A and B are shown apart, each in its own frame.
Chain A
Amino acid sequence: DGGITQSPKYLFRKEGQNVTLSCEQNLNHDAMYWYRQDPGQGLRLIYYSQIVNDFQKGDIAEGYSVSREKKESFPLTVTSAQKNPTAFYLCASSFDRATNEKLFFGSGTQLSVL
């Protein structure tokens, strides 16, 4: 079955630690996205990539980093510089890199701070 796989489902971070969230898709989509969701808030865009080896900052990129070495993979690293990392993180992809309405989402990773 085609889809987006996020792992792990739950992740705990110690202070000063970097952690990496995995996102893999087998939909052959060009564009991939990372969103952050906090309770009672809409989705906020962290980073997006329209093509391999290229990515752009979203609205809240500070404290995060990404890479896009393969079309299928778009990992997100939450660095120690992100002081409030507790949130639900969602990875998404879309077929058309120019328009991104029809997003396909993974099941998310809940990140918490120990």
Chain B
Amino acid sequence: QKEVEQDPGPLSVPEGAIVSLNCTYSNSAFQYFMWYRQYSRKGPELLMYTYSSGNKEDGRFTAQVDKSSKYISLFIRDSQPSDSATYLCAMRIQGAQKLVFGQGTRLTINP
């Protein structure tokens, strides 16, 4: 079993829809959670960073962490074609140097 599981998709939704991207993890020691966005053949860029359970909002993006269920989500409101990308979740144990990445979910927003 992988430490971090992420549905690879692909996920295709119409413009304006609310998108929900999810990751589950098995190691309860993970304390820091990130979402990265990666456009095709580019390097990932950090989108959201959280370290506690609950919600964090930034514009159209909301990151949600549920440590009791070992589940994190990224919600995108009013999705735009420019949101079409691969979204990678990542997480880290306190004191550890290594980030553990999910497989990435490929998202397409159709005009």
Residues of chain A within 8 A (CB-CB) of B46 are 101-104
**Does B60 count as interface, using CB distance less than 8 angstroms?**
no
Do A56 and B97 have beta carbons less than 8 Å apart? yes
Contacts of A3-62 to chain B: CB distance below 8 A: 4, 6, 40-45, 48, 50, 56, 58-59
**Does B45 count as interface, using CB distance less than 8 angstroms?**
yes
Per-residue interface assignment for chain A, residues 98 to 110, with 1 indicating a CB less than 8 Å from any chain B CB and 0 otherwise: 0111111111101
Do A101 and B98 have beta carbons less than 8 Å apart? no
Residues of chain A within 8 A (CB-CB) of B102 are 42
Residues of chain A within 8 A (CB-CB) of B107 are none
**Interface size (B, Cβ < 8 Å)?**
24
**Interface size (A, Cβ < 8 Å)?**
27
Which of B12-20, B36-44, B64-72 makes up part of the contact surface? Answer: B36-44
Known: A100-B92, A102-B49. A107 touches B97 (CB 8 A): no
Q: How far is the CB of A7 from chain B (nearest CB, A)?
A: 13
- Would you list the 3 A-B pairs with minimal beta carbon distance, nearest first? A105-B43, A42-B101, A43-B101
> Chain A interface (Cβ within 8 Å of chain B)?
4, 6, 40-45, 48, 50, 56, 58-59, 88, 90, 92, 99-108, 110
